[in-house]
Amino acid sequence: MRPTMKDIAQKTGLSVTTVSLALNNKPANIPPRTRELVLNAARELGYRPNKLAAGLRGKCTNTLGLILPDIRNVFFSSLCKGAEDACREMGWNVILCNTSDSHRRDMEYIQILADRSVDGILYCISSDSTLLQAQESCKLLGSLSMPFVLLDRDAGIAGCDLVLTDHRQGGFLGARHLLFLGHRHIALVTGPSHLNGCKQRLDGVKRAYEDAGIVFDPALVYEGNFRLESGEASVDFLLNKKISAVFAFNDMMAYGIYKGLRRRGLRVPRDLSVIGYDDVFPSDIVGVPLTSVRQPVYEMGKAGARRMISRIQQPQILCETKLLSPVLVLRESTAPFK
Amino acid sequence: MRPTMKDIAQKTGLSVTTVSLALNNKPANIPPRTRELVLNAARELGYRPNKLAAGLRGKCTNTLGLILPDIRNVFFSSLCKGAEDACREMGWNVILCNTSDSHRRDMEYIQILADRSVDGILYCISSDSTLLQAQESCKLLGSLSMPFVLLDRDAGIAGCDLVLTDHRQGGFLGARHLLFLGHRHIALVTGPSHLNGCKQRLDGVKRAYEDAGIVFDPALVYEGNFRLESGEASVDFLLNKKISAVFAFNDMMAYGIYKGLRRRGLRVPRDLSVIGYDDVFPSDIVGVPLTSVRQPVYEMGKAGARRMISRIQQPQILCETKLLSPVLVLRESTAPFK
DNA sequence: TTGAAAGCGCTAACAT
DNA sequence: ATGTTAGCGCTTTCAA
């Protein structure tokens, strides 16, 4: 059996209280000699605190729940790694929950994590959630008095912490780069238009256009669904327009565009400049490395976890939205307009 | 505050014991009427059991630890998803631990997970571990009486459960396919030769050669390190040999070979047939979709978690090595020999 | 059929 | 400076 504080107490002839006080560096007047005594006994016995017992008694389990759609998606696994790294550095652990993008499972996992007394939840709202459902999950979290930080998805929930990429800036950076290269007729392959992230990217694009004195043309917008197929499907649309460049609102669709162009014997960037968004895939496995607006996903996970732990330790701090800056990563899929 | 059993006891006028017995369907003779009474009260109060308390008192926390090198690697995130899915189905949860392939961190996390009273650990040994170090981790697990299942990596540890791909069969399948296409001079770009997984792939390749009456030529073997760069670096070697096909022991190196060939203006499969191993990347984002030997990674995670839970529930069952069958996935990077 | 009581390992108010 | 005591929420023996 694992040694407990009781064993240390027995071995030293002290009480369990003194042992607890000494081991936890509590501001009781434990004289150095006694502390030494306890610490030595603990070392000799190979004592390790039982986190379950400490969690049950005290207020804190040092555990976070992480709810996300699917860890197989590199976006979320990077987020997760960031969160876990931050937690490890601070002595916390992470319980991982995959929802398969189902709101029902969001709700289930919130309950389960509360049952397990996690101290807080890092929450990527499942994308099948309506605004109402997102509010419902957050209400559940509230009714459980469970602190949480929303990651990546801005569902328009007020009064909570939020960490995500500044998509307005992201859209701006992507568009500005194409404009800088001399492109004047640029198509957009967006994601679902009701998503805040897409609206903001679009805003950013428009701002870049304004700066350059270009008129935004809604006829050059193709609404995709973030999947490769929709990028591929957009190619027919693209080739019917007089454009020299396309900005895809994620990399998957950019690769779909690659595929559609390839099938038609067209080349990137010779025939069309392509820029993506996210930059989560290893870029060197594809023939023409993709220029892309990188979301700092790992950092997002880290920032989210840190924020969560801060909030747990100081519940009174004000809610904030943390916008992380995207970075334009130049590769070979964009070329100057000729 | 969350309602507890005490609250249910108060509300029903029964004792906490009876409540516990009724809620947990224990084989005490609780008459249906009493149980109803308890269940109703529980529902009305919105009672949810406190898993921390149950874990502290009882023997089981229904929690597994999952130790792996880096969740950002799609191989491990698929494994993780499989494990988590299996756990969810059975009412278990997963604490995720990334080791960055460092043995020291393996050891640390084993301790931490034990401190948290997980019931078992799914363990992907970090690849920087020597055989001795792998044995050390397993010894630590043993000394903590912590049940565990090794995943993916066969470090030659005896007396424990192990779930991994049948790499002998994988090597066989890949080589047989190339032979079937008429290739007779085939290069291998392997991983580090001391790894069991590589040895077994090589064995499988040799067996396929024997079946076809081909002599294995060690001069056609290039030892890579599983990274893209080493695949790319192998191309000089490959082009100096009289070969028509190459079998890379993972996909990353296969993509490195793609890259090296592309740079030299050579085409896959026209100039060289290429077959990979793992099949974890989305194959449709690359120009020439890669033929590859697929490891059933998701299933591996699932099988591992199931095995772990079985062992926890029946500690006496015999240890077993579960070999999962790889699958040859035909795509466009291999062509008949001309 | 039900309940009292002990205890899992720990923390913390209170006492000495 | 240290110990006594109570209790976190639950399970489980033992007794009634």
Nearest nt to the B17 alpha carbon by C1': C3
CB B110 within 8 A of CB B122: no
Does the pLDDT at position B335 exceed 90? yes
C-alpha torsion angle, residues B194, B198, B200, B205 (rounded to 10): -130
pLDDT of residue B77: 98
DSSP run (H or E) holding A252: helix A251-263
The pLDDT score that the predictor gives to residue A109 is 98
Mean pLDDT of A46-61: 93
Beta bridge partners of residue A164, listed in sequence order: A323
For residue A98, which of B305, B313, B58 has the smallest C-alpha distance? B305
| DSSP H or E run through A246 | strand A245-248
- Do B284 and A259 count as a contact with CB atoms less than 8 A apart? yes
Q: How many helices (H) and strands (E) does chain B have?
A: 12, 12
What's the average model confidence in pLDDT over A12-34? 87
pLDDT of residue B1: 83
Closest CA to A221 of A260, A268, A171, A261: A171
Cis peptide before B269 (omega within 30 of 0): yes
Q: Is 0.85 surpassed by the pTM of this model?
A: yes
Q: Which nucleotide is nearest to B28 (CA to C1')?
A: C1
To which residue do tokens 């943390």 refer?
A322
Q: Tell me: the pLDDT tens digits for A252-310?
A: 999 999 999 999 999 999 999 999 999 999 888 899 999 999 999 999 999 999 999 99
Tokens 């291998």 correspond to B188
Nearest CA in chain B to A118: B52
**Tokens standing for residue A74:** 């590199």
Whether the CB of A131 is less than 7 Å away from nucleic strand D comes out as: no
Which bases of chain C come closer than 7 Å to a protein CB? 1-5, 7-13
Write the CB contacts of A163 (distance below 8 Å, at least 6 apart in sequence): A149, A150, A151, A152, A300, A303, A304, A307, A321, A322, A324
**pLDDT-derived band of residue B284, with 50, 70 and 90 as boundaries?**
confident
Q: What is the DSSP letter of A290?
A: P
A198 to chain B, closest Cα gap in Å: 22
Strand order in the sheet with B327-329: B221-223, B186-190, B245-248, B273-278, B291-294, B327-329
**What six digits make up the tokens of B65?**
């630890």
Q: Is the pLDDT of residue A26 over 90?
A: no
Amino acid A226: pLDDT = 96
Inter-chain Cβ pairs, chain A and chain B, closer than 8 A: 132
Contact yes or no for B52/A52 (Cβ under 8 A): yes
Domains present along chain B, CATH in parentheses: 5-49 (1.10.260.40), 61-165+297-324 (3.40.50.2300), 167-295 (3.40.50.2300)
Among A23-37, B243-257, B273-287, whose mean pLDDT is lowest? A23-37
User: Residue A59: is its pLDDT beyond 90?
Assistant: no
Question: Taking each helix axis from N to C terminus, what angle separates A103-115 and A131-143, rounded to the nearest 10 degrees?
Answer: 10
Strand D reaches within 7 A of the A50 CB: no
Residue numbers of A between 176 and 195 with CB closer than 8 Å to B: none
Which residue stretches of B181-296 are H helix? 196-212, 228-239, 251-263
Q: Where residue A107 falls among pLDDT bands split at 50, 70, 90?
A: very high
Chain centre to alpha carbon of residue A289: 24
Q: How confident is the model at residue B214 (pLDDT cuts 50, 70, 90)?
A: very high
| Alpha-carbon distances of A125 from A104, A139, A231, rounded to whole Å | 11, 13, 24
Measured between its terminal Cα atoms, the distance across chain B in Å is 76
* Model pLDDT, residue A333: 98
Rg (CA), chain B: 26
pLDDT at A244 over 80: yes
Transcribe B88-155 into DSSP letters: HHTT-EEEEEE-TT-HHHHHHHHHHHHHTT-SEEEE---TT--HHHHHHHHHHHHHTT--EEEES---
Which of B56, B73, B77 best tests the A interface by mutation, with the highest count of A CBs <10 A? B77
Pick the residue with more confidence: A36 or A98? A98
Task: Report the protein residue whose CA lies nearest the C1' of nucleotide C7.
Answer: B57
Cβ distance of A116 and B98 shorter than 8 Å: no
pLDDT at B158 over 90: no
Q: Does B20 touch chain A (CB under 8 A)?
A: no
Give the least confident one: A33-42, A228-237, B290-299: A33-42
Predicted pLDDT at B29: 79
Classified as helix, coil or strand, B246 is strand
- Chain B, residues 27-86, CB within 8 A of chain A, namely 48-53, 55-56, 61, 63, 66, 70-72, 74, 77-78, 80-81, 84-85
For residue B58, name the pLDDT band (cuts at 50, 70, 90). confident
What is the percent of chain B where pLDDT is above 90?
Answer: 91
Cβ count within 10 A of residue B325:
13
The stretch B64-84 carries a mean pLDDT of 98
Given a cut of 90, whether residue B126 has pLDDT beyond it is yes
Contact A309, A120 (CB under 8 A): yes
Query: Cα(B39)–Cα(B74) distance, rounded to whole angstroms?
Result: 44
Mind listing the pLDDT tens digit for each residue in A152-199? 998 888 899 999 999 999 999 999 999 999 999 999 999 999 999 999
Chain A interface disruption, residue of B67, B71, B78, B226, most A CBs within 10 A: B71
Report helix, strand or coil for A151. strand
Q: Provide, in whole angstroms, the distance separating residue B60's CA from nucleotide D15's C1'.
A: 27
Q: Is pLDDT of A29 > 80?
A: no
For residue B28, pLDDT over 80 is answered with: no
Q: Which of these, B70, B22, B28, lies nearest to B42 by C-alpha position?
A: B22
